[in-house]
Chain A
Amino acid sequence: MDPNKYLSVEAVGKTFETRKGDFVALAGIDLAIRKGEFVTLIGHSGCGKSTLLNLVAGLLEPTEGTIILAEREVAGPGPDRGVVFQNHSLLPWLTCFDNVHLAVERVFQEPKSLLKKRTHEALELVGLSHAEHKYPHEISGGMKQRVGIARALAIEPKVLLLDEPFGALDALTRATLQDELMRIVEKTGATALMVTHDVDEAVLLSDRVVMMTNGPAARIGEVLQVTLPRPRERLALAHDARFMDLRAAVLEFLYQKQAHKARLKVA
């Protein structure tokens, strides 16, 4: 197996059939992700980055091309991919523990005590051992998203898929959770693909930032290698020249090279 192609998106296109005719959302997407790599997809809203993530998750089927994960073609959703949804998607009638346990007991065929241990460990990893028996409506938005991350990680997926996981959170909570996610990914060595529209978030977390052009028929515009050493410190990076340069490169792509089309679309 080519170690650089742990997750491989090959010539993928996605066309939606709508009442007004076909809508080409994505065209000719090629992307290979290494094992243990953290890749973010960034682009203006409507550019199809979530569509690409959903294709990898198997929630959508590609119209063209194939997606291969660990030498197996992705055909529909499955627990080898852990998905963190934008709005946490916890089941409101289950406690935090039960929400995670639902995933754990589906994936592992083990004695009950081991399954419980796994659930406890996943919640401990995201620092929520104290809130195990609370219901989602009893905890804050940031805590809910942590449970979402715990649920996705507890099943030991081959790849973690995050769809704007911190988009709905306030800036302070978002920063805390970004740091937390960095720590967790470092600890578990997870391979991750994340959709975001936050430039700082993309540069801070990623090994590579994949910048997408505006739709329709969105493509990968540029790919930015983020060579900043890990572990990364938010405060130290705030004044780091390399960080600033990388950030400027993404901003330039989004607001100069892709700005014109975005404005047209609004009009």
Chain B
Amino acid sequence: MSALAAVRVRATPGARGGAAKAPFEATAGRRAQAPEWLLDVLACLVGLAAFVALWALIARFGGRIPDPVTVWSAAVKIFAHPFYSKGPNDQGIGWNVLSSLRRVGIGFGLAALVGIPLGFMIGRWRFLSGMAAPIIALLKPVSPLAWLPIGLLVFKAANPAAIYAIFVCSLWPMIVNTAVGVRQIPQDYLNVARVLNLSEWKVFTKILFPAVLPYMITGVRLSIGVAWLVIVAAEMLTGGVGIGFWVWDEWNNLKVEHIIIAIFTIGIVGLLLEQSLVLLARRFSYT
């Protein structure tokens, strides 16, 4: 915190005298340059501005793509009442996002419940790993949407079928990463357990679990990323309330600006999910 504050002080021209008095090694080699965070922010802003400019250009000469200003004013209208509800097919964007998140949450939660213990077992026992390897190798590259008809067949309803697709796509990264984590545990830690003759429970709580946790969180992060990708497509197929369905509905209404709003919304929600898990991962890294 204090280091950041110091950099910030140095960035303002009025504080230059103070910076000169700062310890030699802190300022050496940096005196003439703008601080790094300022450059980062600047780069970010320039990138976004270029993106919007390109978009405006395409909108102008490319026919039916709405320009940024139109989309912005449509977005202001939509986000003014995110939680209205006029029947199942006409709900605010807030409800749509929340129902998609709910499906992801349930499917993903079930996948964690199954995948993490399975990953532990596969990582711990070689035979089990040999058993699971061909199945995982075969099924992992399959698009989760290919499972959707099976889900519809089994559950005979759209909502559980979508959740099922999320479950399937979240499962693989969770199993694979947890298993890798278990296999990566340094032999040294296991030797400590062996020379102390620790009980299986202690080995699990004091060594296996904390050692695997960072890998598990990586699995969770990958899973939730994939799940958020898949839910949009799954909802386009299943209908109901959800951000994916909303995109499809607005396409049928030919409200292209709403589709663009949906794209940004999906992106922002995905980014927030990812970032919160990155924060969680940082909390549990031990080096």
Contacts and interface: CB of A to CB of B under 8 A. Distances in A.
Most buried by B among A59, A78, A89: A89
Interface stretch (B96-104, B131-139, B189-197, B237-245): B189-197
B4 to A, nearest CB: 22
Contacts of B198: 102, 106
A91 B210 contact: yes
A103 interface: yes
B191 A93 contact: no
Contact of B196 (A93, A103, A135, A137): A103
Nearest to B206: A102
Contact of A106 (B191, B197, B287): B197
Interface string A50-84: 00000001110000000000000000011101110
Interface residues of A, number: 23
B156 interface: no
A77 B202 contact: no
Given A78-B197, A79-B197, A89 B192 contact: yes
Interface in B178-229: 188-189, 191-192, 194-198, 202, 206-207, 210-211
A224 interface: no
B91 to A, nearest CB: 45
A229 B210 CA distance: 47
A91 B194 contact: no
B61 interface: no
A130 B202 CA distance: 27
A89 B189 contact: yes
B24 interface: no
Given A85-B188, A137-B286, A94 B206 contact: yes
A102 B192 CA distance: 10
Nearest to A157: B195
Contacts, number: 51
Interface residues of B, number: 16
B194 A137 contact: no
A58 B192 CA distance: 12
Interface string A90-109: 01111000000011001100
Contacts of A94: 206
Contacts of B195: 57-59, 77-79, 81-83
Interface string A133-166: 0010100000000000000000100000000000
A15 interface: no
Interface in B234-270: none
25 contacts: A57-B195, A58-B195, A77-B194, A77-B195, A78-B197, A79-B197, A81-B195, A82-B195, A85-B191, A85-B192, A89-B189, A91-B189, A91-B192, A91-B210, A92-B287, A93-B211, A94-B206, A102-B198, A102-B206, A103-B196, A106-B198, A106-B202, A137-B286, A137-B287, A155-B196
Interface of A: 57-59, 77-79, 81-83, 85, 87, 89, 91-94, 102-103, 106-107, 135, 137, 155
